[in-house]
Amino acid sequence: MSDDRPELARQRDLDQVYEPAEDSHLLAETAREYVGEGDLVLEVGTGSGYVATALAKTGADVVTTDINPMACREAHEAGLPVVRANLVEPFRDGVFDLVAFNPPYLPTPPEHEFDDWMERALSGGEDGRAVVDPFLETVRRVLAADGVVLLLVSSLTDIEAVRKRAAAGGLSAREVADESHPFERLVVLELRPTEQ
Amino acid sequence: MNEDLLDIICCPLDKSELELDVRDRDDGEIVSGTLTCTECGEAYPIEDGIPNLLPPDMREETTA
């Protein structure tokens, strides 16, 4: 039981990369039912790589992104293909069968500035949707013809507002999983392209 | 990064194809190099096996 160097290096990054929690678990369990052998899956904002690793076990090809360089390193060390990216910006049109995202969604007062990577992993700005909204505006482009998005949201984030934003982005939403916690209800929204 | 990632990535700015220039390869993995947009010419670094496809205005040093 001796800690070697890589372990220590990981410890140093620990408080700068979001560790898997109830929300990660709910998203992983739900998303697993959607994918299988040969599917191409994107996990946006992979953090520790927990959800992506669970999905890779189904035989799906999983690609991950994060904006945080330390999270990218953790995903790379876990053997996951990783791209440092802002949301789905650097991906081609129509390629993914599934896009999964556990976004930062906690409403945060405006005077509380983003000052480190953990803050960025948690905070969704004043209304909790500072990251969710641009994601909903852009994600449809990278979906394959029968592609699906699974987005984790919280009752703290105003789920009805998220639905409306999704609709504006050409996606219809329905709840496919939920879990109640003392101060919030966690929900997985399934988003599918609407007819154009 | 693995070379087959090239099939699904593109320039974050104009979504055009990227041209790969490998500097260092280890056992098939591209450890360092550059991805250059064939349209706008923007160059994106690959460091420690990780391509940094953040747009230039969001890019910063990846070494902590």
Reduced to 3 states (helix: H, G, I; strand: E, B; else coil), residue B24 is: strand
Residue B63 lies in a domain: no
The model's pLDDT over A120-130, given as tens digits with 9 standing for 90+, comes to: 888 888 888 88
Residue B14 lies in a domain: yes
Q: Does residue A79 belong to the interface with chain B, where contact is any CB pair within 8 Å?
A: no
Instruction: Indicate yes or no: CB of B50 within 8 angstroms of CB of A92.
Output: no
Cα–Cα distance measured from residue A101 to residue A186, given in angstroms and rounded to the nearest whole number: 13
Q: Which residues of B touch A72 (CB under 8 A)?
A: 50, 62
Task: Give the range of the structural domain holding residue A168, as residue numbers without chain letter.
Answer: 5-193
CATH number at residue A34: 3.40.50.150
The model's pLDDT over A6-54, given as tens digits with 9 standing for 90+, comes to: 555 455 555 788 888 899 999 999 999 999 999 999 999 999 899 999 9
| Sequence-distant (≥ 6) Cβ neighbours of residue A101 within 8 angstroms | A43, A44, A45, A135, A139, A149, A150, A151, A152
pLDDT at B59: 83
Phi, psi of A140 (to 5 degrees): -55, -35
Total number of domains in chain B: 1
Q: How confident is residue B4, by pLDDT bands cut at 50, 70 and 90?
A: very high
The model's pLDDT over B20-63, given as tens digits with 9 standing for 90+, comes to: 999 999 998 999 999 999 999 999 999 999 999 999 999 865 44
C-alpha distances in Å from residue A143, one per residue of A63, A76, B24, B30: 14, 24, 32, 27
Between residues A17 and A103, the one the model is more confident about: A103
Report ipTM (2 d.p.).
Answer: 0.93
Total number of domains in chain A: 1
Q: Which residue of A has its CA nearest to B16?
A: A92
pLDDT tops 60 at residue A86: yes
Task: Give the range of the structural domain holding residue B27, as residue numbers without chain letter.
Answer: 3-56
Partner residue opposite A86 with nearest CB, options B55, B63, B64: B55
Name the pTM for this structure: 0.91
Q: What is the mean pLDDT of chain A?
A: 90
